[in-house]
């Protein structure tokens, strides 16, 4: 007898090779699955699809959806890759940290006699999603595509990877949330088009400009504000309600404000009742109140489009529950005059897109996904200059090789300081890592050569490999800074860089001039020491005087004067330098057969 397996219509056939999509959200998290490019949210055993990203803290354990708990940790995603000091100095983060131990450098949670790191705590969300999905699908799950904010740096991304791994999930790709939303709308299947993804979540605001050309979906620019979200609108409305009712703001008022915001998205007016107070609010009043917040998000969106060279948009995709507010669609339509994509559930769209990408990676890919680097990465070079190696908004994955030479004679080691940022000097950039490559063979300055490979993988993790050209000695490092940067910090870094462009450029030119001066003086003094007989007494006096004059200009930090005196010293020393070089060649070739000269 032939056995025929019968399944309910629309039911997914899954196996241990099935890859799910997970939206690890600030306010809520979801898990989804896709087959034949049709994705759906996996429901929890209680029938819900959205899982609050809230960790319940009990005496001896932590978990999700435990209503007996008295302590909770909310929005843990915003705390990942932050130091205790950073949290203490950020009021918005401190409101989330009441149940964290900030006494050590790295924030942690005390459970019984043990301490857990934030990735260990965050893993509970992944564990819950995984176990509930396995119950629903009746199958073990091992692999996932996980969404992260576009501005998560390599350390924050690494902590998300670690949290998922602790839950027993292999993350085959981290996908930026705006890009996942574009996937959910099927934009990756189109041949041409440019789209702005406007993602206003509970605690964060993200913008990405996506460009589709011949099957390649590329993130060409990103922006946002890590300290701006729907929660800010709720609190703004809650303060207004409290002032109108002449009461103190509290958690219940904030909850009522959130509900009022949602109701006013579909109604012209509502009435709020709290204890003995009644308050009528119209949509017009509400929109006038929150207009400055929404206008701020539109400005960020415009700035991001400017970073993308103001390419012509084919549409705007709305993500996040707060985008249900009609005011947002109205302002975006007026500002950008393009189609608004809002027919999919903004709370679910990221998870659905992550599931589509999961199927795309586990099956034969139909399109290529490219993300971008949020801030430039480079090295500190001579004089403390930050030499940018990979520029901001470079598509990733990406790899580049550069060669560096020794700065002085018989230099046996080379120190590398990797920095991130848009400023011209390393001291003004963010330090990522330091390492040293030793064992460089003895040689004249400029003869020792080291190849340095900078590589950023598809998950945004940066690795740096230095290889000495002659011996082949290698030093490799995976750069994971001690603590990550929030979107607000990234934007602050960009703002400071833009404000200091002229000052930084001037400082860099001065440093370059001083380094030229040092190099010229050092080279001349060494040449004079090696071949003093090539100079007359009068010539030596003139060169010494010019060197002294150049040194004084260097001390006075006068760039224009330094360059003038460098030219003057070069003119004085040109004949001597040529004689010195000729003598060096003569000494090198003396006694050699012509066949030995290469």
CA torsion, points 578, 584, 587, 589, in degrees to nearest 10?
-90
According to DSSP, the residues that pair with 396 across neighbouring strands are 371
From CA 454, how far away is CA 463, in angstroms rounded?
Answer: 6
The span from the CA of 371 to the CA of 364, in Å, is 20
- Could you tell me the two tokens for 545? 């005087």
**Of the candidates 239, 234, 49, 31, which has an alpha carbon nearest to the alpha carbon of residue 134?**
31
Is-catalytic flag, 177? yes
Residue among 394, 324, 353 nearest 176 (CA)? 353
Q: Which of 23, 120, 371, 424 does the annotation list as catalytic?
A: 23
199 is catalytic: yes
Alpha carbons within 13 angstroms on the beta-carbon side of residue 26 total 25
DSSP per residue, 183-242? HHTTGGGSSEEEEEEEEE-SS-EEEEEEEEETTEEEEEEEEEETT-SHHHHHHHHHHHHH
Residue 45 burial (C-beta neighbours within 10 Å; 0-12, 13-18, 19+): exposed
DSSP label of 425 = B
Can you tell me the distance from the alpha carbon of 200 to that of 294, in angstroms, rounded to the nearest whole number? Answer: 10
Given 120, 124, 154, 177, which residue is catalytic? 177
Looking at the DSSP assignment, which residues form a beta bridge with residue 418? 379, 433
> What does the alpha-carbon distance between residue 153 and residue 81 come to, in Å, rounded to a whole number?
9
CA 9: distance to chain centroid?
Answer: 42
Cis link prior to 397 (omega < 30° from 0)?
yes
Tokens 């440019």 -> residue: 194
Question: CA-CA distance, 299 to 169, in Å (whole number)?
Answer: 38
Spot the catalytic one: 132, 199, 487, 489: 199
Cα separation, 598 vs 595, in Å, equals 8
Q: Which residues are catalytic?
A: 23, 77, 177, 199
């Amino acid at each position: 007898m032939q056995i025929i397996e019968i399944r309910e219509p629309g039911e997914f056939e899954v196996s241990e090779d099935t890859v799910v999509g997970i939206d690890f959200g600030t306010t809520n998290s979801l898990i989804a699955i896709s087959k034949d490019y049709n994705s759906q949210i996996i429901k929890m055993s209680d029938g819900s699809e959205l899982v609050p990203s809230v960790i319940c803290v009990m005496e001896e354990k932590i978990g999700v959806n435990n209503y007996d708990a008295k302590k909770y940790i909310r929005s843990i995603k915003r705390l990942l890759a932050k130091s205790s000091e950073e949290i203490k100095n950020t009021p918005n983060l401190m409101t989330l940290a009441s149940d964290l131990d900030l006494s050590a450098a790295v924030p942690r949670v005390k459970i019984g006699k043990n301490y857990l790191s934030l990735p260990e705590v965050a893993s509970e969300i992944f564990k819950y999603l995984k176990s509930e999905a396995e119950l629903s699908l009746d199958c073990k799950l091992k692999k996932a595509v996980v969404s992260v904010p576009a501005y998560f740096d390599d350390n924050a991304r690494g902590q998300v990877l670690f949290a998922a791994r602790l839950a027993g999930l292999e993350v085959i790709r981290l996908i930026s949330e705006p890009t996942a939303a574009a996937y959910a709308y099927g934009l990756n299947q189109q041949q041409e088009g440019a789209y702005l993804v406007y993602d206003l979540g509970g605690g964060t605001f993200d913008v990405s400009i996506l460009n589709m050309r011949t099957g390649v979906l590329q993130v060409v620019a990103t922006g946002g504000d890590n300290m701006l979200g729907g929660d800010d609108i709720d609190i703004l409305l809650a303060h207004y309600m409290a002032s109108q009712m002449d009461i103190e703001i509290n958690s219940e008022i904030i909850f009522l404000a959130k509900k009022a915001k949602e109701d006013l998205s579909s109604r012209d007016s509502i009435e709020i009742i709290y204890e003995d107070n009644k308050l009528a609010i119209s949509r017009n009043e509400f929109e006038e109140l929150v207009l400055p917040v929404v206008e701020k998000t539109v400005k960020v969106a415009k700035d991001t489009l400017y970073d993308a060279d103001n390419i012509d948009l084919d549409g705007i995709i709305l993500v996040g529950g707060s985008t249900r507010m009609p005011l947002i669609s109205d302002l975006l339509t007026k500002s950008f005059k393009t189609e608004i994509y809002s027919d999919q559930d903004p709370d679910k769209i990221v998870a659905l897109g992550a599931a589509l990408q999961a199927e795309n990676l586990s099956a034969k890919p139909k399109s290529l996904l490219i993300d971008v680097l949020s801030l430039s990465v480079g090295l500190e070079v001579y004089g403390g200059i930050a030499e940018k190696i990979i520029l901001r908004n470079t598509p990733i994955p990406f790899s580049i090789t550069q060669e560096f030479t020794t700065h002085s004679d018989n230099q046996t080691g080379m120190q590398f300081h990797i920095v991130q940022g848009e400023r011209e000097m390393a001291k003004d950039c963010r330090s990522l890592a330091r390492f040293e490559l030793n064992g460089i063979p003895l040689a004249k300055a400029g003869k020792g050569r080291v190849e340095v490979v900078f590589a950023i993988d598809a998950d945004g993790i940066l690795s740096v490999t230095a290889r000495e050209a002659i011996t082949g000695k290698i030093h490799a490092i995976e750069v994971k800074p001690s603590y990550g940067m929030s979107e607000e910090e990234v934007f602050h870094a960009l703002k400071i860089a833009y404000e200091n462009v002229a000052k930084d450029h001037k400082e860099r030119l001065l440093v370059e001039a001083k380094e030229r001066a040092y190099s010229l003086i050092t080279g001349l003094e060494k040449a004079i020491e090696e071949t003093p007989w090539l100079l007359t007494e009068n010539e030596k006096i003139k060169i010494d005087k010019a060197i002294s004059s150049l040194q004084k200009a260097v001390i006075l930090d006068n760039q224009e004067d330094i360059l003038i005196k460098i030219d003057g010293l070069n003119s004085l020393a040109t004949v001597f330098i040529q004689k010195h070089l000729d003598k060096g060649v003569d000494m090198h070739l003396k006694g050699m057969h012509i066949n030995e000269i290469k």
